[in-house]
Amino acid sequence: MSVEIRSLLHNEGETRAFGHHLGTLLRRGDWVALIGTLGSGKTTLVQGIVDGVHPGRRGRSPTYVMVEVYGEGPRIVHADLYRMARPAEIETLGLTDLAEGDAVVLVEWADRALEHLPEDRLELDLRYVPEGGREIRIRPRGPRWEDVAREGHLDRDHWSHALYPRD
């Protein structure tokens, strides 16, 4: 199944709401590849995911340290490849080691090293749209994510009811 789901995220609240919903779907061993230009909402989406996995916990951009780890059961490993000069540098981050056990791995700027990520992953591509907001293109890769998509769990109907009221 090669499917792409597209949805419009009108504001920061909708971006967080989708992230929060996705966080409730994640399980140990999952990888999420976030793609998009600077300021497209990748970190906001990660903040929603972190809150969905560990309610009340706030994620932050690991741009300068490149990797942050949040919580346990599951641990969230959050990598930001923005400052990575070459795709092979991903090996020096130790993501594969950090991912072992109970981790969920979120990779911002994943397009800089897609060939180094597992085949079974969820790709989220965020883009600005002329009419305002952002479009998210959701690409399930591998049987786990294809099943999640086929069951409709990534469709807007499953998360739009939980919009963050403050945004």
The answer on pLDDT for 47 being more than 60 is yes
Q: 164 lies in a domain?
A: no
User: DSSP letter at 166?
Assistant: T
Q: Which CATH number covers residue 116?
A: 3.40.50.300
In a domain, 141, yes or no: yes
pLDDT at 50 over 80: yes
Q: Is the pLDDT of residue 58 over 80?
A: no
- Write the DSSP symbol of residue 26: -
Contact between 70 and 59 under an 8 Å Cβ cutoff? The reply is yes
Q: What's the confidence (pLDDT) of residue 165?
A: 47
Number of Cβ within a 10 Å radius of residue 150: 12
Range of the domain at 136: 5-157
**Looking at the domain assignment, is residue 166 inside a domain?**
no
pTM for the predicted model, two decimal places: 0.87
Question: Could you report the per-residue pLDDT of 106-120, keeping only the tens digit for each?
Answer: 999 999 888 888 999
Specify the pLDDT at position 59. 64
pLDDT of residue 95: 74
Say what percent of the chain tops pLDDT 70: 89
Helices and strands (H, E) in the chain, number of each type = 4, 7
162 assigned to some structural domain: no
Torsion, Cα 112 71 141 43, to 10 degrees, reads -50
Domain count, the chain: 1
pLDDT score recorded for residue 163: 56
* Closest among 23, 36, 51 to 166, alpha carbons compared: 51
Evaluate whether residue 163 is within a structural domain.
no
135 is a domain residue: yes
* Tens digit of each residue's pLDDT (9 = 90 or more) over 65-108: 678 888 888 989 998 888 877 777 777 777 777 778 789 999 99
Question: Is 10 part of any domain?
Answer: yes
110 within a domain of the structure (yes/no): yes
